[in-house]
Structure formats: structure tokens, C-alpha cells
Amino acid sequence: MPAPGFDLDGYRKRWQTEIDASLEQMLAHLAADRGCPSALLAAMRYSLLSGGKRLRPLIVLAATRACGGQEQAALGAGCALEMIHAYSLIHDDLPAMDDDDFRRGQPTCHRAHGEAMAILAGDGLLTHAFELLSHSVPEAVAARALSLLARAAGPAGMVGGQADDVAENQQMPSLAEVEFNHQRKTAALFAAAVALGGLIGGAGRDQAAALDDYGQAFGLAYQITDDLLAYQGDAETLGRPTGSDEIQDRKTHPRVAGLARSRQRTLSLVEDAILALRPFSEKADALIALAKLLASRV
Ligand code: GRG
């Protein structure tokens, strides 16, 4: 199972390029559809092609690889997931939510394209993701794929986590409440990423359960790491300005548990994620390397 010689940098560079090219191509198809207004397309393009790490699609591809499938077959599903991620960031930045002016070093979508168009760009990316996914996976698993993605992104998943986040609550939550929020707001999409990769790669029941364990643990660790770096003021590793959690009095993991416990929790979740991959061959190398990268950030 271990993958000591795996070249994660090379793997990421290669597939990030492919993912970006596929996203370009999908927007080109949309541009050819006379029903899509150019102002809307411009706002969608602005956020979708603004240089994210493409972590969720990479995980879709890595999960397909772990099951013995070809990454190429998972590109469409990975791009669909990235569209949902891009929509969530656009809406998260809006004045009614985080009210952020910058994302990935450039003005946020509503700053560049106006609030109404940014809302619609998010709506467009969210809905187009499902159309794209419906013809990116084998017909036999299409309904399952659409349903799991809708659940992960929806009111009992990411939207639910975000709703809890914005709800006014003066009390300090328990750590279990914080983690429940992270499971929905962030981990649900990572769990959907491995589930989609598994569906495309033909995962059996044990492998699908193992991928879910990996996705949940990875996703929770990812959110705690993000909060830890923000808490420590490590804007460089984080890739965005820090300090807004304190300003907005957000009850993050390190604010509730303290630095040392949050760090420890991240490391133990990464260990859980890697251990979950026992039912796989050495082809789980990319998933393992991605989890190890997370541990190296805290
Ligand atoms: C608005 C419905 C709705 C949901 C928003 C994703 C989200 C829910 C909020 C973002 C808040 C945030 C900064 C969460 C931390 C973890 C996270 C999801 C970071 C951003 O994802 P990365 O690191 O970003 O993959 P890039 O820029 O690489 O795509």
C-alpha cells in the first residue's frame, strides 16, 4: 500500500493542466450555446478559471486510479465537482455572507462582475455541474452519481453547513458541533469526490466504504488545517489573507480546541484516512500522497 516513490508534484501538475483544459472546453461548449448570455458566461469563467488548486477533481481522479481505472475517464466528473466548488466560493464571498473583496489574489466575482451577476454565475455553475455530470459517467451509475453529488452539495451537506455557519450564535459550540459543521460544509464534497471516483473506477462495496472513510477524514482534516493556518496567521501557506475568522467571531476548530489539540486532531485524521485505504493496491498512491501533504502543512 505505501507509495514512497510517488511523484505527487508531477501528478498534480499533469492532471491540473488536463483539468484546466477540460474546464476551458466545457465553457467553450457553453459559449456555443446561444442561450447562455455572454455576461453570465464571463462571470462564470472569471471564477472557474482563476487558478484554484483543483484539489477536488484531483481526488476524483486519484480515487478512480486507486480502483484500477483510468484518470481520463473521471475528468468530466472532476470538472463537475470543481464547478460546484467554484459556485460555493462565489456565494461564500458575497456581501450577505463573508463579504470578501479578494479571492486567489484577485477581486471576488461580485467585485468584478456585480452582485447580481455573481449570484447568477454561482447558480449557473451549480446547475451546469449536474448537466455535465449526467453525461460524464457511465449510464448505469449516472443516477447514483447525480444523487450523491446533490446530497453532498445540498441542505444536509455543504449548504446546511454553511447555513449553520451564518446563523447568529453567540455561544461557544462544543468540538463535536464544530466538527459536525465541518463534515457538512467541507468534508461532504471531498467524500463526494472519492465516491464519484470510486463509481467510475468500479469500486466494490468494501472499497466504496473505504473511500468514504478516506473522504470524510480527509475533508475534516482539510478544514481544520485551513482554520489552523488562518489562526496562526500563515497567509503564505494558506494563499489568502488571514484574520477574518477572529473579526467575524467564527468558532473554528483551533479557537474551540486550542492549537495543540487541533494539530493533533489533523494528524490523527490523516492517519485514519491513510489506514482506510487498506483494501486497495499500490494504486492508492496518489490518495496517500495527498493525505500526507495535508499533514505536512500543520
Ligand atoms: C456558499 C453554499 C455555500 C457554501 C460555501 C466552501 C464553503 C462553503 C466556504 C468556503 C469557506 C472556506 C474558506 C472553507 C475552508 C476550506 C475550503 C473549502 C477552502 C477553499 O478550498 P481550496 O483550498 O481553494 O480547495 P482553491 O482556491 O484551491 O480552489
| Mean confidence (pLDDT) of the chain | 93
Task: Over range 187-198, report the average pLDDT.
Answer: 98
To test the pocket of ligand 1, the residue of 88, 151, 224, 228 to mutate (highest count of ligand atoms within 8 Å of its CB) is 88
pLDDT recorded at residue 287: 98
CA of 163 to the centre of ligand 1 (A): 14
CA of 18 to the centre of ligand 1 (A): 22
Cα 80–Cα 219–Cα 198 angle in degrees, nearest 5: 55
Q: Parallel, antiparallel, or unpaired for β 106-107 and 102-103?
A: antiparallel
pLDDT recorded at residue 2: 45
- Name residues whose C-beta falls within 8 Å of residue 245's C-beta, 6 or more positions apart in sequence: 227, 230, 231, 252, 255
CATH of the domain at 171: 1.10.600.10
Residue 94 lies in domain: 8-296
The CA distance from 199 to 194, in Å, is 9
CA of 179 to the centre of ligand 1 (A): 16
Cα Rg, the chain, nearest whole Å: 18
Report residue 247's pLDDT band, with 50, 70 and 90 as the boundaries.
low
Residue 82 CA: nearest ligand 1 atom is 29
Task: Over range 208-237, report the average pLDDT.
Answer: 91
pLDDT recorded at residue 34: 86
- Name residues whose C-beta falls within 8 Å of residue 100's C-beta, 6 or more positions apart in sequence: 92, 93, 108, 244
C-alpha cell at 122: 454561482
* Of 11-25, 124-138, 221-235, minimum mean pLDDT range: 221-235
Determine, yes or no, domain membership for 2: no
* pLDDT reading at 79 higher than 80: yes
The CA distance from 206 to 224, in Å, is 27
Determine, yes or no, domain membership for 152: yes
pLDDT recorded at residue 233: 79
* pLDDT reading at 137 higher than 70: yes
Report residue 33's pLDDT band, with 50, 70 and 90 as the boundaries.
confident
Q: Does ligand 1 come within 6 angstroms of the Cβ of 135?
A: no
* Of 90-99, 102-111, 236-245, 251-260, minimum mean pLDDT range: 236-245
Sign of CA dihedral 78, 234, 213, 162: negative
Q: Where does 49-138 have alpha helices with state H?
A: 55-66, 75-93, 109-113, 115-134
Residue 159 CA: nearest ligand 1 atom is 2
Q: Does ligand 1 come within 6 angstroms of the Cβ of 225?
A: no
Determine, yes or no, domain membership for 1: no
User: Whose Cα sits closest to atom 18 in ligand 1?
Assistant: 186
- Nearest residue to 116 (alpha-carbon basis) of 140, 139, 98, 95: 95
Task: Return the bridge partners of 102, or none.
Answer: 107
Task: Over range 173-197, report the average pLDDT.
Answer: 96
* Of 31-35, 74-78, 135-139, 198-202, minimum mean pLDDT range: 31-35
To test the pocket of ligand 1, the residue of 92, 100, 184, 294 to mutate (highest count of ligand atoms within 8 Å of its CB) is 92
Determine, yes or no, domain membership for 244: yes
Report residue 1's pLDDT band, with 50, 70 and 90 as the boundaries.
very low
Task: Return the bridge partners of 245, or none.
Answer: none
The CA distance from 125 to 48, in Å, is 9
Determine, yes or no, domain membership for 185: yes
pLDDT recorded at residue 251: 79
Identify whether the C-beta of residue 182 lies closer than 8 Å to the C-beta of residue 224: yes
Determine, yes or no, domain membership for 223: yes
Determine, yes or no, domain membership for 3: no
Report residue 239's pLDDT band, with 50, 70 and 90 as the boundaries.
low
Task: Over range 262-288, report the average pLDDT.
Answer: 97
Q: Does ligand 1 come within 6 angstroms of the Cβ of 88?
A: yes
Residue 45's alpha-carbon distances to 20, 29, 41, 74, 288, in angstroms, are 11, 12, 6, 21, 32
Question: Total structural domains in the chain?
Answer: 1
Task: Over range 67-89, report the average pLDDT.
Answer: 98
The CA distance from 173 to 169, in Å, is 9
Determine, yes or no, domain membership for 177: yes
